Amino acid sequence: MSRRLIWGVAGVMVCVGLVVSWFLNTFERVSVPRRDAPQAEARENPYLALERFLARMGRPVTRTTDADILHRLPTPGTLILDRGRAYHLTDTRQEALMEWVNSGGYLMLVPEGPGTPDLVVDEFGLVWTDALLEDEAPGNPQRNRPPKPAQRPVVVPGTARPLAVAFQDGLTTVGEDPEWAAIDPNYGAHVLHFVHGQGAVTVIAHLDALVSNNGIADYDHAELVSSLLERYQPNGAVVLLTRLGIPTLGEWLVAHAPLALASGILLLALWLWNVVPRFGIVVPEPPPDRRDLHEHLLAVGRFVRKRGGGDVWLTIVRSAVKGALVRRHPSYGVGDDDLATRAAHTGIPLADLTQAFTGDGTRTDRLVVTMRALQRVERSL
């Protein structure tokens, strides 16, 4: 190997080393968050992220849709009560809930939407601010108010800094004052905290949206939940009472009974194969049979006869036969009194001539006999 080639390879290696060293000193590897489409578990449980967040905090959540759990809530413990409870929250269950709070339980409450009855929120005299303004000034509750903010700070007692929380709507208290609240001066409070006996109740407007899978990572929503738990119930179990979305029958079958669904489809296909007489192209219908002329004439004759037109047809046929008879024997007149003479000269039987030119057509049988006589006379000419 020549000395020039050795120096060339060494130079290339030095250049490559310098470039690699510059790249490593200039750039650094960082993680980039990426939001993927929700999987089946997240689609069925909108609070899956909240459950996993609390589990990392050492506070696992028991999620249930059974309203009877209000009679056996753990003490000490925390209950996160979702909206959509008006049908299930009977008077007995509400009394059990408030007794549990009074004995030391901590309740985080999602108020029902405007226009939906909410007995728990009524216990503390809370109303939606927009609904209250609508009652006081019908038609324009938004007048003389600045635009609604996207987020508002919440100061939880004992925390080092205010927590930013998304703001949608606020509530106004018309009963007892809360221990503390996060209030927007124009749109009301979105977080209100009450002391109830030995326990506490925190009402958070639209908490279900704040801690859902899509919202818990926004602003300081996750820290708000953890701060409230550490402040007011650092021990005990956490129960999430929520009404999950009800899947359609098709979605439920695909998720929980795919074999039964496939068996049903197979049985349906076999039944169709059994009851359907054929598979393939549609056989065209044959063209209708063409009727003969005599069939049309017979149909016309039956119609005229049923309508009482037999005498008309008899007159027309008799006139045509008389004309043919005169043309065949022009030297003889046609009259009722010379039928015998006509029979003698033409060779036509007298009975046929008599029936043809004097027969009755008032009844069907007589009309047929007369027509046959006229036909025989015509054929004998």
* Residues 191 and 323 both lie in one domain: no
Token duo for residue 102: 């009074």
Q: Return the closest-CA partner of residue 52 out of 40, 62, 60, 43.
A: 60
Query: Residue 111 burial by CB count (10 A; 0-12/13-18/19+): exposed, middle or buried?
Result: buried
Helical ranges in the chain per DSSP H: 3-26, 40-44, 48-56, 91-102, 119-122, 129-136, 207-210, 221-232, 249-256, 258-275, 293-306, 310-328, 339-346, 350-358, 364-380
Final residue of a structural domain among 241, 268, 285: 241
Final residue of a structural domain among 207, 241, 275: 241
Q: Is 252 part of any domain?
A: no
Q: Rounded to the nearest 5 degrees, what angle is found at the Cα of 154, between the Cα atoms of 204 and 213?
A: 55
In this predicted structure, what is the pLDDT of residue 57? Answer: 87
Host H or E run for residue 80 = strand 77-81
Would the pLDDT of 220 be above 50? Answer: yes
Write phi, then psi, for 134 (nearest 5 degrees): -65, -40
Cis peptide, bond prior to residue 76, ω within 30 of zero:
yes
pLDDT tens-digit readout, 361-376: 667 667 777 778 777 8
DSSP character string of 167-204: -S--EEESSSPPSEEEEETTTEEEEEEEEETTEEEEEE
Task: Specify which residues 200 forms β-bridges with.
Answer: 106, 195
Provide the pLDDT confidence category of residue 79 given band limits of 50, 70 and 90. Answer: very high
What residue numbers bound the domain in which 316 lies? 293-380
In this predicted structure, what is the pLDDT of residue 336? Answer: 46
SS3 4: helix
State the total domains in the chain. Answer: 2
Provide the pLDDT confidence category of residue 217 given band limits of 50, 70 and 90. Answer: confident
Q: Phi-psi region for residue 219, left (φ > 0), alpha (ψ -120 to 50) or beta? A: left
* Residues 91 and 210 both lie in one domain: yes
CA 251 to chain centre: 13
Would the pLDDT of 301 be above 80? Answer: no
Final residue of a structural domain among 241, 256, 277: 241
Provide the pLDDT confidence category of residue 333 given band limits of 50, 70 and 90. Answer: low
* Residues 57 and 177 both lie in one domain: yes
The rounded mean pLDDT for the chain is 81
CA distance 191 to 153: 10
Q: What percent of the chain has pLDDT over 90?
A: 13
Q: Is 266 part of any domain?
A: no
* Residues 207 and 117 both lie in one domain: yes
* Residues 310 and 206 both lie in one domain: no
Q: Is 206 part of any domain?
A: yes
In this predicted structure, what is the pLDDT of residue 135? Answer: 64
* Residues 73 and 173 both lie in one domain: yes
Q: Return the closest-CA partner of residue 150 out of 206, 98, 194.
A: 206
Q: Is 131 part of any domain?
A: yes
Q: Is 369 part of any domain?
A: yes
In this predicted structure, what is the pLDDT of residue 201? Answer: 92
CA distance 20 to 14: 10
Q: Which of 148-162, 253-267, 314-328 has the lowest mean pLDDT?
A: 314-328
Q: Return the closest-CA partner of residue 218 out of 371, 365, 49.
A: 49
In this predicted structure, what is the pLDDT of residue 129? Answer: 84
pLDDT tens-digit readout, 194-209: 998 899 999 999 888 8
pLDDT average, residue stretch 71-95: 85
pLDDT tens-digit readout, 49-70: 888 998 888 888 888 888 888 8
* Residues 77 and 220 both lie in one domain: yes
Q: Is 16 part of any domain?
A: no
* Residues 235 and 307 both lie in one domain: no
* Residues 69 and 213 both lie in one domain: yes
Q: Is 19 part of any domain?
A: no
In terms of pLDDT, which residue wins out, 344 or 54? 54
Q: Return the closest-CA partner of residue 118 out of 50, 201, 177, 46.
A: 201
In terms of pLDDT, which residue wins out, 120 or 353? 120
* Residues 59 and 126 both lie in one domain: yes
CB 113 within 8 A of CB 171: no
* Residues 168 and 45 both lie in one domain: yes
CATH number, domain containing residue 213: 3.40.50
pLDDT tens-digit readout, 164-177: 999 988 888 888 88
In this predicted structure, what is the pLDDT of residue 121? Answer: 86
* Residues 308 and 224 both lie in one domain: no
Q: Is 26 part of any domain?
A: no
pLDDT tens-digit readout, 268-288: 988 888 777 665 666 777 777
pLDDT average, residue stretch 122-129: 86
